[in-house]
Structure 1
């Protein structure tokens, strides 16, 4: 029996190759084959007939066809596009290349079954893209999607959760099992909708992210412990002196970064708190407390 099953798989693979279709798992190419999931993703995107839609990794074009039907234009980024026999082809704009290394085009909506290995950098490239887009409906590995929507106190709450939720409203839409793909991936998947906040919070994102990285470097320890690491104190002292010189302010001879940082944490009430339990407002208050005393993170 195992031999028969193996032969069937081999014949199926040969049939696919005869059609000129090959799958490259090294670039995350697992083709979404369930039309109901494709239909749901497109519906959840809320596409208007005046919209330009952005898609990454079109594969066989199953999703692309549906996007073309309801939009004004579809811009597709791809490394390997398996077929070009699509209806409404005149509405399709193809761009060959690595989406992480190329400027993004103008678009209103993003809908994509992403290669999972580019999930994190792609999300932040999207969220920092201007002009603003309306929303993105994206397929992710389930654990990554769960981290995006995780709330304070949950096991998956992390730097990714905080940074994404600072810049956008994030909602989990549905789970997607392995068997909805060809070939099936090793992990479960999910679909998430991301709506950027417009206008964004009036803070320097690089500085924010640098602080959040410190906070979550010791996720289960107190912030007092995280900020008193020698490497962190050295960086903060260097930045303090740099910003002081930019403002033509003298640094006291007896300046002690460790004592100053501890004082800020104690007076703001964050000394004994843990990053895993803090929300966006808490982190904003912490950043403000440091900035008021001349400490910056970038």
Structure 2
């Protein structure tokens, strides 16, 4: 039994006793700081009501679960993919709803189809983008607020400004679907084992969006960054994401008052929305 989930020495001994070897590809660097865990759980602003329940993605050893269970009581569901960590969580939280599965394969309606929820998690880099898409698309109009710990590089991509190196189709999609805030960065030293990269805490509040525009907006965004060194016109000519008569591209860009020879990274989120609305009439 792991008595102190915030003690590196106890974690080390516990993992050895259970023959658990942290998997870097799954982001298994365990948070060992109680204050940071508490801050993550209490990031939801006071003017926003918490969801009816919470989902934690990847409970790990339970450093964040330990705080969330005191806030949400029995209205907490933990989804853990790793078999050894799932068994640990089942042993630790005997009365808690713990699902042994990949979060991307979980049907939210199987948890509770009538209630909205908050989402928390320490998200590995290699599945961060799919989880963001899962949250925005599969869980649309169901989630209330999300707080994630992600690699700082990924956080910077989500909140990047037009014209910057980190600005991308992901930035546009995230901005279209939500308001994202970088709360603070987290030192590598508060994890076991210590990762090579810095982490950041981000909060995400959903927006109400026109769902009829979602697929068009995503396709336009991916097209603009299909080859980020190419001009907007060239990207539309060679885009695998959207099918537009190549003889209409100049006309579309002129209607949107966009220079065909600039790059996609120059367009603001509002300009991409405007362009998407115009393109809707051509496809």
TM-score by shorter chain over 0.5:
yes
Describe the superposition over 1:220-257 as per-residue Cα deviations: whole angstroms up to 9, x where unpaired: 4331222233x669x625xxxxxxxxxxxxxxxxxxx3
Match of 1:119 in 2: 128
What is the rounded CA distance, in whole Å, between the counterparts of 1:93 and 1:120 in structure 2? Answer: 26
Aligned to 2:182, the other structure's residue is in SS state strand
The answer as to whether partners of 2:53 and 2:72 remain within 8 angstroms in 1 is yes
* Structure-2 residue corresponding to 1:140: 150
- Per-residue deviation, 1:212: 1.1
CA distance in 1, matches of 2:251, 2:272: 17
Secondary structure in structure 2 of the residue aligned to 1:276: helix
Aligned twin of 2:264: 275
> How has the CA–CA distance of structure 1 residues 284 and 21 changed in structure 2, closer, same or farther, with 3 Å as cutoff?
same
Aligned partner of 1:208 in structure 2 is: 217
Corresponding residue number in structure 1 for 2:174:
164
Shifted more, 36-45 versus 271-280: the winner is: 271-280
Is the radius of gyration larger for structure 1 or structure 2? 1
CA distance in 2, matches of 1:220, 1:50: 42
| Match among 98, 123, 127 for residue 102 of structure 2 | 98
Which residue in the other structure is 2:24 paired with? 25
Aligned to 2:80: 78
How far 1:21 sits from its partner (Å)? 4.8
Aligned residue for 2:172, secondary structure, equals helix
Counterpart residue number, 2:68: 67
Given that 2:51 and 2:117 are in contact with CA atoms closer than 8 Å, whether structure 1 keeps it comes out as no
- Matched with 2:5 is none
Match status 1:266 vs 2:257: no
Contact 2:61 2:89 in 1 (8 A): yes
Aligned length: 262
Calculate the TM-score normalised by the size of structure 2: 0.83
CA distance in 2, matches of 1:263, 1:49: 47
- What SS is found at the alignment partner of 1:203? helix
Measured in 1, the distance between the counterparts of 2:58 and 2:240 equals: 40
The alpha carbon displacement at 1:281 in A equals 1.5
Say if 1:100 and 1:125, in contact at 8 Å, map to a contact too: yes
Q: Residue 291 of structure 1: which of 265, 280, 283 is its match?
A: 280
Q: Partners in 2 of 1:209 and 1:195 — Cα distance?
A: 19
Shift of 1:219: 2.2
What is the alpha-carbon root mean square deviation over aligned residues? 2.7
CA distance in 2 between counterparts of 1:160 and 1:274 reads 16
Query: Relative to 1, partners in 2 of residues 1:210 and 1:15: Cα closer, same or farther, differing over 3 Å?
Result: closer
- Cα distance in 2, alignment partners of residues 140 and 30 from structure 1: 12
Measured after TM superposition, the shift of residue 94 of structure 1 is: 0.6
List alignment gaps of at least 5 residues for structure 2. Answer: 1-7
TM-score under structure 1 normalisation?
A: 0.79
Distance 2:225 2:41 in 1: 35
Deviations 1:53-112 (A, max 9, x none): 10011111121111010114110100232344546x53x211111111221334521111
Cα shift at 1:152: 1.2
The one of 158, 162, 166 aligned to 1:152: 162
Question: Cα gap change, 1:84/1:258 in structure 2, threshold over 3 Å: closer, same or farther?
Answer: closer
Deviation >6 Å, runs of 4+: 47-50
Structure 1 stretch 180-189 or stretch 24-33: which is displaced more? 24-33
